[in-house]
């Protein structure tokens, strides 16, 4: 049962597609404070767990911290952070109710932080739709929610293969090397990503013609080897006269403006850019059609980046900062002056003041960016996806986005942004999967091996053994970090063994994905959803249920030859490695299991059968029909 309450005059966020009639707000079943900032509060029961918030930091159980919905280019995913790239205002409170706050501005979630037994949700505004969902259990509440926000995006099947990325691949030779070294080392591969360096001066929808003298031939040559190329598209469009994308957008008034109606200028990778006004449906159609420049060369996948939007600085902010820095006199500066100088520069990036000074044309209505911040990136991806669907049909083009809101799951997947090569980020990756599932993000994954900082061989192997189960399985790293392609490490056959398991499991994983999409269900679930009365299982934060047949429990600590696993029911443990499989039936309870670096552990419920294909070097060569079975 879903109850909708409408406060004020909410804008259309495009999150909910079902028609639901609003109830009288006097019947709102939680405590309310109205006024400039709508506030919803309720008491928490003792030991009550809170799930949700989609792409958010910390545990599967979100209780005991304070979060913000505010799409943020936040690279340092430590425990104290409040916001990541997506804003997903959906929570499940114990088995009592679920709550969706449909509001595109900032939302603060105090979930037992200030007072351990109290939740307080504060909106930076008072125009919102609030949905309260009751169901027979947590999973049922999620399915009801998913039904009103629409079916999840399904990418092409090749996008379930293993994918390699690196910010730093620049020339076509770099890409050929990546392809060839995977093939030589018997490492399967379906796609290689093109980060910002493929562009001409970081200009969207351009290709650097020195580095790619014949781009079409390059794409074709990769295709023949069953390698898909996936270029990045950034939100900001370089302000450069003579660059047709900018000139067109400028002429048509498709860029965001400042308070005075002038184009808002900010600095990101290309230098000063204009921000396309994705809130404007004409601008959306226009921007979506620009992908055609790459599609017509045979490109069939994209990732939309920097669309929170990330602002390194605004032009106005830079001018103010530089004016301040020029006043510094080293001889008389005290320590306060030193910290002020640092803060001036730190404060320029993704400044809230800047977000407050951007304006949109929401199909005729002028709105301040701060009130629609959390749908900006979502609408960029909607722009692309609507074009793809109209022109190419469903499931033809891979698309995933960094920023997102509820509803983006109909258009694309997401990745979890710029993580680190930290062991703790394997676990964070795992914890993000069920909350992403709750919001319909079935196609998702983290940068395997870690984006920032330096990887180690064992970290990459352990992370891949989790990545085997994530629909998006992409190894990605930042410029200047240690080489992270599998072929750079000793005993590369260990990597082949792990990657082979991905391809062997693809028929299962793909059908589990389709089933979750078709039935608006979760692909990954916390153990608490399946075993609510098992007091050990319900608190487990390092194992997940996968579809209806399996449980996963990767090793995520260095120098460990195994880990503790809790089985809430009898299951069979399979250790998969290349074509080798060992099996061990295990009773309900706590077990220590040994897992070698080249093994992938999988727990299968009794009576369930898991289809297995033969290993393959890519999804095109995979024999999807001739399968054997585990179990």
351 binds a second copy (CB under 8 A): no
Distance from C-alpha of 579 to C-alpha of 624, rounded to nearest angstrom? 16
Q: How far is the CB of 330 from a second copy (least distance, A)?
A: 5
Return d(Cα 18, Cα 84) in angstroms, integer. 28
Closest approach, Cβ 395 to a second copy, in A, equals: 37
Among 52, 150, 267, 434, binds a second copy (CB under 8 A): 267
- Name the residue with tokens 């399915």: 143
313 binds a second copy (CB under 8 A): yes
- CA-closest candidate to residue 256, choices 346, 401, 370: 370
SS (H, E, C) 191-205: EEEECHHHCCCCCCC
Binding test (CB under 8 A) with a second copy, winner from 14, 89, 152, 421 = 421
Q: Within 424-443, which residues bind a second copy (CB under 8 A)?
A: 424
Residue range at the interface with a second copy (CB under 8 A); choices 56-64, 100-108, 136-144, 355-363: 56-64
Write down the least CB distance from residue 33 to a second copy, Å.
22
The CB-of-590 to a second copy minimum distance in angstroms stands at 5
**561 is a site residue for a second copy (CB under 8 A):** yes
75 forms part of the interface with a second copy (CB under 8 A): no
Residue 238 CB, shortest distance to a second copy, in Å, is 11
Contact 122, 389 (CB under 8 A): no
Q: Which stretch binds a second copy (CB under 8 A): 29-37, 83-91, 163-171, 311-319?
A: 311-319
Among 24, 210, 260, 334, binds a second copy (CB under 8 A): 334
10 Å CB burial of residue 291 (0-12, 13-18, 19+) is buried
> For residue 24, which of 45, 2, 5 has the smallest C-alpha distance?
5
User: Of 388, 374, 372, 381, which Cα lies nearest the Cα of 408?
Assistant: 381
**Based on CB atoms, which residue is closest to a second copy, 179 or 203?**
203
List phi, psi (to 5°) of 374: -75, -5
169 binds a second copy (CB under 8 A): no
Minimum CB distance to a second copy smaller for 24 or for 331: 331
Asked if residue 1 binds a second copy (CB under 8 A), the reply is no
Residue 217, interface with a second copy (CB under 8 A)?
no
Nearer to a second copy, 20 or 325 (CB): 325
Phi, psi of 102 (to 5 degrees): -90, 95
Query: Under DSSP, is residue 126 helix (H, G, I), strand (E, B) or coil?
Result: coil
**Using an 8 Å Cβ cutoff, are 387 and 285 in contact?**
yes
Closer residue to a second copy in complex, CB, 281/456: 456
The 590-629 site mask, x for binding a second copy (CB under 8 A), equals xxx-------------------------------------
In degrees, rounded to 5, the angle at the alpha carbon of residue 387 between the alpha carbons of residues 521 and 407 is 30
CB neighbours of residue 315 within 10 Å? 15
Do the beta carbons of residue 426 and residue 396 sit within 8 Å? Answer: no
Looking only at the bridges linking them, the beta strands covering 162-164 and 473-475 are parallel
Q: Which of 16, 40, 44, 49 contacts a second copy by CB under 8 A?
A: 49
Q: Does 318 bind a second copy (CB under 8 A)?
A: yes
Figure out which of the listed residues 109, 423, 487, 529 binds a second copy, where binding follows CB under 8 A. Answer: 423
- Of the pair 156, 562, the CB lying nearest a second copy is at 562
Residue 96 makes contact with a second copy by CB under 8 A: no
Distance from C-alpha of 295 to C-alpha of 412, rounded to nearest angstrom = 17
Residue 533 sits in the site that holds a second copy (CB under 8 A): no
- Torsion sign, CA atoms 514, 519, 520, 525: negative
Q: Is 78 in the site for a second copy (CB under 8 A)?
A: yes
Question: Of residues 6, 41, 126, 454, which one binds a second copy by CB under 8 A?
Answer: 454
User: Cβ distance 138 to 166 under 8 Å?
Assistant: no
18 vs 536, which CB is nearer to a second copy?
A: 536
Does 510 contact a second copy by CB under 8 A?
A: no
What is the rounded distance in angstroms from the CA atom of residue 190 to the CA atom of residue 301? 12
Residue 583 binds to a second copy (criterion: CB under 8 A): no
Query: If binding is defined by CB under 8 A, does position 457 make contact with a second copy?
Result: yes
Shortest CA distance to 227 belongs to which of 183, 268, 186, 265? 183
The Cα–Cα gap between 293 and 480 comes to: 30
Q: Where are the alpha helices (DSSP H) in 253-372?
A: 281-290, 292-295, 315-325, 335-346, 352-356
Work out how close the CB of 318 gets to a second copy at its nearest, in angstroms, rounded to a whole number: 5
Cβ-in-10-Å burial (0-12, 13-18, 19+) of 212 comes to buried
CA–CA separation, 476 and 418 (whole Å): 9
Residue 580 beta carbon to a second copy: minimum distance, rounded to whole angstroms:
20
- Closest by Cα among 509, 491, 492 to 602: 509
Q: How far is the CB of 596 from a second copy (least distance, A)?
A: 11
| Contact indicator for 329, 426 with CB cutoff of 8 Å | no
Residue 193 sits in the site that holds a second copy (CB under 8 A): no
User: How many angstroms separate the Cα of 234 from the Cα of each of 53, 60, 255, 595?
Assistant: 25, 30, 14, 40
96, 157, 250, 315: which one binds a second copy (CB under 8 A): 315
Contact between 568 and a second copy per CB under 8 A? no
Which residues inside 466-505 make contact with a second copy, applying CB under 8 A? 490
Q: Is 360 in the site for a second copy (CB under 8 A)?
A: no
Nearer to a second copy, 319 or 548 (CB): 319
Where on the chain is the footprint of a second copy (CB under 8 A)? 47, 49, 58-59, 61, 63-65, 78-80, 113, 115-116, 267-271, 312-313, 315, 318-319, 322, 325-326, 328-330, 333-335, 338, 341-342, 345, 420-424, 452-454, 456-458, 490, 535-536, 539, 541, 557-562, 564, 566, 590-592
């Amino acid at each position: 049962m879903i109850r909708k309450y409408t406060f004020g005059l909410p804008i259309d966020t495009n999150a909910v597609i079902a028609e639901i009639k609003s109830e009288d707000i006097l019947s709102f079943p939680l405590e309310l404070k109205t006024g400039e900032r709508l506030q919803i509060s309720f008491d928490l029961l003792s030991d009550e767990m809170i799930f949700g918030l989609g792409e958010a930091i910390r545990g599967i159980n979100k209780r005991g911290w304070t979060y913000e919905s505010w799409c943020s280019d936040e690279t340092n995913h430590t425990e104290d952070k409040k916001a990541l790239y997506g804003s997903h205002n959906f929570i499940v409170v114990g088995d009592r109710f679920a709550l969706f706050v449909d509001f595109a501005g900032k939302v603060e979630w105090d979930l037992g932080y200030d007072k351990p037994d109290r939740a307080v949700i504060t909106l930076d505004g008072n125009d919102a739709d609030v949905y309260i969902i009751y169901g027979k259990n947590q999973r049922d509440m999620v399915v009801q929610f998913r039904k009103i926000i629409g079916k999840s995006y399904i990418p092409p099947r090749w996008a379930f293969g293993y994918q390699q990325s690196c910010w730093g691949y620049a020339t076509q030779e770099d890409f050929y090397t990546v392809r060839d070294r995977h093939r030589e080392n018997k490492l399967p591969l379906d796609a290689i990503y093109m980060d910002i360096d493929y562009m001409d001066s970081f200009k969207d929808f351009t290709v650097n013609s020195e580095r790619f003298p014949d781009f079409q031939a390059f794409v074709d040559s990769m295709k023949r080897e069953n390698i898909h190329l996936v270029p990045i598209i950034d939100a900001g469009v370089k302000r450069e006269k003579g660059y047709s994308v900018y000139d067109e957008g400028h002429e048509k008034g498709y860029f965001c403006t400042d308070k005075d109606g002038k184009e808002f200028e900010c600095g990101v990778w290309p230098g000063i850019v204009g921000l396309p006004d994705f809130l404007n449906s004409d601008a959306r159609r226009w921007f979506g059609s620009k992908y055609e420049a790459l599609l017509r060369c045979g490109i069939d996948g994209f990732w939309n980046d920097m669309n929170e939007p990330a602002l390194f600085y605004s032009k106005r902010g830079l001018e103010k900062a530089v004016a301040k820095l020029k006043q510094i006199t080293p001889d008389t500066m005290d320590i306060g002056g030193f910290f002020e100088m640092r803060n001036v520069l730190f404060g320029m990036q993704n400044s809230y003041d800047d977000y407050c000074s951007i304006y949109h044309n929401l199909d005729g209505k002028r709105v301040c960016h701060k009130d629609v911040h959390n749908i900006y990136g979502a609408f960029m991806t909607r722009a692309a996806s609507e074009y793809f669907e109209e022109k190419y049909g469903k499931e033809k083009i891979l698309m995933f986005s960094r920023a997102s809101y509820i509803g983006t799951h109909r258009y694309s997947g997401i990745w979890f942004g710029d993580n680190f090569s930290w062991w703790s980020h394997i676990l964070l990756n795992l914890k993000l999967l069920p909350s992403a599932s709750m919001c319909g993000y079935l196609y998702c994954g983290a940068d395997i091996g870690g984006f920032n900082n330096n990887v180690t061989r064992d970290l990459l192997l352990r992370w891949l053994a989790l990545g085997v189960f994530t629909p998006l399985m992409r190894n990605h790293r930042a410029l200047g970090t240690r080489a992270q392609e599998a072929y750079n490490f000793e005993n590369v056959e260990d990597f082949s063994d792990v990657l082979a398991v991905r391809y062997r499991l693809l028929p299962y994983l793909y059908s589990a994905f389709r089933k979750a999409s078709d039935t608006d269900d979760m692909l990954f679930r916390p153990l608490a959803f399946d075993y609510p009365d098992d007091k050990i299982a319900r608190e487990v934060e390092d194992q997940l249920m996968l579809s209806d047949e399996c449980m996963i429990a990767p090793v995520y600590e260095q120098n460990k030859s195994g880990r503790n696993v809790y089985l809430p029911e009898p299951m069979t443990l399979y250790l998969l490695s290349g074509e080798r499989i060992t099996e061990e039936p295990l009773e309900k309870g706590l077990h220590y299991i040994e897992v070698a670096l080249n093994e992938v552990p999988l727990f299968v419920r009794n009576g369930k059968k898991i289809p297995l294909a033969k290993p393959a070097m890519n999804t095109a060569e995979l024999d999807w029909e001739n399968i054997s079975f585990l179990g």
